[in-house]
Structure 1
Amino acid sequence: METTAREFSRKSSQILAAAARGETVTVTKNGTPVARVVPITDNDTPPYPTSPMGEIELPDLGLPELTADNARDAPRQAGAQTQP
């Protein structure tokens, strides 16, 4: 399926519905293809969370626990280490 950018703006819900049904839609501007709306399959979903609220497992680096107190004091300690 092919549509113009203007039609895409006016009928985006219908075009997205077509993609959800499995259709690929090419969007053109002045007759030149500029974008493609393609259906997403289960194989396209990445195996890691994409939501900013999704859980992520970080490796244990063996570092000490960061608390509010030592986070507040860290800049002062770093400055003290660089002074002669």
Structure 2
Amino acid sequence: METTAREFNQRSSQILAAAARGETVVVTKNGVAVARVVPVSDDGIPPYPTDAMGPIELPELGLPDLANEEIDDVLRGMGS
């Protein structure tokens, strides 16, 4: 099901009832999908992430490699 933001504002109770019945409702604004109202199910949804996010690639910032002692010295100097 798809609805406009204006319709959602005017008919939110009916749209939420549709989601409660198991329908997924896409809300659009100016023809662009901006939100999705989906039914909530407690089945199989842990309250927190249970698996690793996978590898993270950090951008190269061109910073020097520092030893732990050098990092400690820098951090101590920041508190002064």
Which bracket does the TM-score occupy, shorter chain normalised? 0.5 to 0.7
Deviation at 1:42, TM superposition (A): 2.1
Distance 1:44 1:25, change over 3 A: farther
The residue aligned with 1:53 is none
| Structure 1 residues 47-58: aligned runs within 5 Å | 47=47
Unpaired stretches in structure 2, ≥5 consecutive residues: 49-80
Distance 1:13 1:44, change over 3 A: farther
TM-score (norm 1): 0.52
Bigger helix fraction: 1
Percent of aligned pairs sharing the same letter: 77
Distance 1:9 1:43, change over 3 A: same
Displaced runs of 4+ in structure 1, greater than 3 A?
44-48
RMSD of the TM alignment (CA)? 1.7
| Structure 1 residues 21-60: aligned runs within 5 Å | 21-43=21-43, 46-47=46-47
* Structure 1 CA distance for aligned equivalents of residues 45 and 11 of structure 2: 26
* Structure 1 CA distance for aligned equivalents of residues 35 and 43 of structure 2: 21
| Structure 1 residues 1-80: aligned runs within 5 Å | 1-43=1-43, 46-47=46-47
Deviation at 1:10, TM superposition (A): 0.2
Distance 1:28 1:12, change over 3 A: same
The residue aligned with 1:74 is none
